[in-house]
Structure formats: C-alpha cells, structure tokens
C-alpha cells in the first residue's frame, strides 16, 4: 500500500486543480462564483466516471446592500463587515452604547447581566480550530438571548483586516444586526468604552433571498458490496480573499483522491461517493438540505464520511471524530500506513459538513490542518489573507496521502466492520 500511496502523492494535476479553484474568486454562495467552480469540478469528476450529477438545494440566501459603522463620540468611521444573514437596522442606522464583553464567553455575558439589554455587545473572534474554541454563532445566540440590540465581533489579529462569517440567523427570524470589526477599530471602541461611554451608529441594510439555491456536485463510483464511503468538501467560501485554505485545499484533494481511488472500487468493495457542497459557510445549509432530502435507504447506505476542509496551512493534521470513539483506531491505522501523524479530537465540533452526517448517526470526521496552532498560516481563514500563496504544495500532498489511506482502509472493510465504526 505504501508504494501505491507514493504514486498517488505525485498526482500531477493536484496543484493545477487547487489554483483553478482559487481562480474563481472567494466563491461566496449567491455570487455565482461557487456555482461556476462547482460546474468546473463536476467536469473534472466526469473524467473519472460518467456517474456525476448536480443537485440544487434551497437555502436562505441574503446579500448586504449597505453597511457602515460610526464612533459617534469622535465622529469617525470604523471598519465593519456584516455577518451573513445579519438582521437589518433602521434605514438611518441605530445609535447604541457599546458593552465590551472581552472574549464573549458565557461567564462574560453573565457578569454583564442587565447592562447588555438594549446595547451593542463587543466580543472577540477566536481561532476556530482549538479545544476551547467558542464559535461566533454561539456568542451571537447569547447576545440575542440576553437582549442585546446589536452584535459586534472583533478580529484578534492586528493588521489582519476584517473577517467574514455567518450569524446563523434563519429566514424570518428576527435576530439582531451583527458585524465583524477589524482589530484596530475594536481597540478604538474598547479604549473609548473604558474611559467612559462608547456610542456607535451602526447601519446594516440587507436583502433576504428566500428562494436561493445551492449546488451539490456528486460523483458515484459503484462497488459490488453494500455501503457507501463518502468523501466530501465544500466549494463555497467568502469574498475577502480567494478561500484558498477554506476550502480550495479540500476540493483539490477530493478531486485527486477520487482519481486515485476509482480503480480500487470493485465488486469486492463498497461504493465511493464524492460530494462537493455549496452554502457550507451559511451554517452548513447545503449539506443539511442534501442529507435531509436523500431517500432514507440511500442515506442509510452511507457508512462513513471523510470530510476535507482546510487540509493545508500547517504541517499538522487532525481528525475531528465527532463523538465516534471507534474512529480513533481506524485513524491511527491510516496514520501508520500513510506514515503521517494524524491526531484525533473526540468531541463533536459542528464547524463543517461532517456535522450533518453525524447528525444522522453516520460516522463522520473532519480532516483539518493546524488544530490548536493559532499562529499557523491557518489563522488567515475567513480573511483577505486566505490566498493561494500561503499554501505549501507539500502540505496538500500530505493531505492527499492521508485521505487515500483513510479511504482505502474503509473500502477494504466488510459491511460489519464499517457498521462497527458507528458504535458509541
């Protein structure tokens, strides 16, 4: 198997595919860039097998019409970027006092008590891949529950500019206006608040797009045994950079893995499916709708999901194994065969499409680079720094080697062995 993996790792098209995905731009769902990139990727998958299809699933779309943030105390403009699906303000904006909640952890909200109600809360974004990470949507939900009138979340990196992300607010949910700030704007707000009172005027006007559609690209390579192993990656990203980390890396590796694994799907193996999702950055909406709409028998045939999301940007790899302890020895076996260290993290982290597979009891994990390494290049995620130049070819090839080892082991398992991966 090692000899086969050595050949796989030298895939000549891997970097070309990666650069091509990046060339479509940030690929924010609703921009058309994600759809164009998905159609291109389906063409690439079609070179492997003719059993490709595109499925379009509904999601609650949204676009920002205008946004601004003013520090009223000094009459100065600050940098802001609304979260996806932010609630709108009044047409003239809303004037609010800011409450600085530091990290914005539950204890910070509890300590602030009633002072939150009717004010704008300011919290800090956290590096998303760490054991103690608290997702922005959880902080947003706390702000809504505590009666805040607006939600501001600051980048923790000086000179890093603005970040992008979703509020997670559903269609026709009231919610509150929500925006990212750059580090310097947040520091100015904090300094003003510490010396007395910081008052802002926040303007966000958004447009709901309730009938938006997100693409899902599917390649099926049919085996002769019961069960399906799914390799997934998301195509969409954000519009500040080129979404190279997140997730051109995963898409390029998924395409190369499909090329390498196709000859190994036989009458003696389960089937292999590759899924490329859009609207992942919209609270995982694309994969959620895809799995919800799958016929029950088809969904029940899925025995494992290997989700590739941000698989370069650091030389370390971790499998987030979603509360499926039986996945740990399986990942360790792949690590030994690939001769690449792969750490595991057991608790479910709902930060990519694997979480929707796990929701249906399907053993699922996210392969991610830079776990618990906030100073790695992965910290460019969601920012204008998410560009192809920060990705090392060696890291992509390492991720491909690991992915192929993981998938080949799964394809060689019996139905009973695959079912055992779901045991908890």
- The model's pTM is 0.96
From residue 98, how far is each of 71, 138, 208 by CA, in Å?
10, 19, 27
- Residue 172: give its domain's CATH number: 3.50.30.30
75 located within any domain: yes
Number of structural domains found in the chain: 2
**Residues 129 and 238 occupy one common structural domain:** no
- Residue 403: give its domain's CATH number: 3.40.630.10
215 located within any domain: no
Nearest to 311 by CA among 251, 361, 353, 223: 251
Residue 70 and residue 79: Cα distance in Å, rounded?
9
**Residues 412 and 308 occupy one common structural domain:** yes
Residue 399's φ and ψ, nearest 5 degrees, are: -65, -35
From residue 280, how far is each of 80, 215, 272 by CA, in Å?
22, 11, 21
**Residues 138 and 28 occupy one common structural domain:** no
Q: What is the pLDDT of residue 1?
A: 67
216 located within any domain: no
Q: What is the DSSP letter of 171?
A: T
**Residues 9 and 109 occupy one common structural domain:** no
**Residues 336 and 357 occupy one common structural domain:** yes
Residue 41 and residue 28: Cα distance in Å, rounded?
16
**Residues 337 and 414 occupy one common structural domain:** yes
Q: What is the pLDDT of residue 161?
A: 96
Q: What is the pLDDT of residue 30?
A: 95
In the three-class reduction of DSSP (H, G, I as helix; E, B as strand; rest coil), residue 203 is classed as strand
Q: What is the pLDDT of residue 58?
A: 96
**Residues 202 and 232 occupy one common structural domain:** no
Residue 336 and residue 28: Cα distance in Å, rounded?
37
What pLDDT tens digit does each residue of the chain (424 aa) get? 678 898 889 999 999 999 999 999 999 999 999 999 999 999 999 999 889 999 999 999 999 999 999 999 989 999 999 999 999 999 999 999 999 999 999 999 999 999 999 999 999 999 999 999 999 999 999 999 999 999 999 999 999 999 999 999 988 888 999 999 999 999 999 999 998 899 999 999 999 998 899 999 999 999 999 999 999 999 999 999 999 999 999 999 999 999 999 999 999 999 999 999 999 999 999 999 999 999 999 999 999 999 999 999 999 999 999 999 999 999 999 999 999 999 999 999 999 999 999 999 999 999 999 999 999 999 999 999 999 999 999 999 999 999 999 999 999 999 999 999 999 8
121 located within any domain: yes
Residue 192 structural domain: 62-208
Q: What is the pLDDT of residue 111?
A: 96
Beta carbons within 8 Å of 187's beta carbon, 6+ residues apart:
none
Q: What is the pLDDT of residue 174?
A: 87
217 located within any domain: no
147 located within any domain: yes
**Residues 185 and 106 occupy one common structural domain:** yes
DSSP 328-391: HHHHHHHHHHHT--EEEE-S---SSTHHHHHHTT--EEEEEE-TT-TTSGGGGTTBTT--GGG-
Omega of the bond prior to 165 within 30 degrees of 0, cis? no
Q: What is the pLDDT of residue 172?
A: 82
Q: What is the pLDDT of residue 2?
A: 72
Nearest to 304 by CA among 287, 292, 321, 329: 321
Q: What is the pLDDT of residue 130?
A: 94
**Residues 7 and 81 occupy one common structural domain:** no
366 located within any domain: yes
214 located within any domain: no
């Amino acid at each position: 198997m090692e000899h086969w993996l050595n050949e796989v790792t030298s895939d000549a098209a891997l970097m070309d595919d990666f650069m091509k995905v990046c060339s479509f731009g940030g690929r924010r769902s609703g921009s058309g860039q994600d759809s164009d990139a998905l159609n291109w990727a389906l063409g690439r998958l079609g070179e492997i097998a003719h059993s490709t299809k595109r499925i379009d699933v509904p999601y609650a779309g949204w676009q920002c019409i205008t946004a601004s943030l003013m520090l009223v105390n000094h009459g100065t403009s600050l940098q802001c970027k609304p979260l996806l699906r932010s609630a709108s303000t009044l047409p003239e904006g809303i004037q609010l006092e800011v409450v600085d909640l530091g990290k914005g952890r539950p204890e910070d909200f509890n300590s602030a008590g009633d002072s939150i109600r009717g004010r704008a809360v300011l919290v800090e974004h956290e590096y998303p891949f760490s054991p103690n990470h608290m997702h922005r949507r959880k902080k947003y939900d706390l702000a809504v529950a505590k009666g805040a009138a607006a939600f501001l979340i600051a980048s923790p990196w000086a000179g890093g500019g603005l970040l992008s992300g979703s509020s997670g607010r559903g269609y026709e949910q009231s919610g509150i206006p929500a925006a990212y700030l750059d580090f310097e704007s947040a520091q100015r707000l904090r300094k003003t608040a510490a010396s007395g009172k910081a008052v802002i005027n926040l303007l966000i006007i958004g447009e709901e797009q309730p009938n938006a559609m997100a693409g899902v690209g599917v390649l099926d390579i049919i085996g002769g045994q019961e069960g399906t192993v799914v390799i997934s990656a998301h195509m969409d990203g954000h519009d500040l950079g080129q979404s190279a980390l997140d997730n051109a890396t995963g898409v390029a590796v998924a395409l190369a893995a499909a090329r390498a694994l196709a000859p190994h799907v036989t009458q003696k193996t389960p089937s292999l499916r590759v899924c490329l999702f859009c609207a992942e950055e919209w609270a995982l909406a694309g994969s959620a709708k895809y799995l919800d709409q799958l016929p029950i028998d088809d969904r029940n045939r899925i025995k494992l999901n290997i989700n590739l999301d941000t698989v370069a940007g650091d030389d370390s790899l971790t499998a987030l194994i979603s509360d499926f302890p039986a996945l740990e020895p399986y990942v360790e076996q792949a690590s030994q065969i690939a001769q690449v260290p792969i750490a595991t993290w057991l608790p479910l982290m709902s930060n990519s499409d694997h979480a929707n597979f796990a929701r249906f009891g399907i053993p699922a994990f996210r392969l991610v680079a830079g776990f618990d390494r906030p100073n790695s290049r992965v910290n460019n995620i969601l920012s204008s720094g998410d560009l192809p130049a920060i990705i090392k070819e060696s890291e992509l090839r390492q991720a491909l080697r690991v992915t192929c080892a993981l998938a080949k082991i799964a394809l060689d398992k019996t139905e009973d062995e695959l079912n055992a991966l779901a045991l908890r």
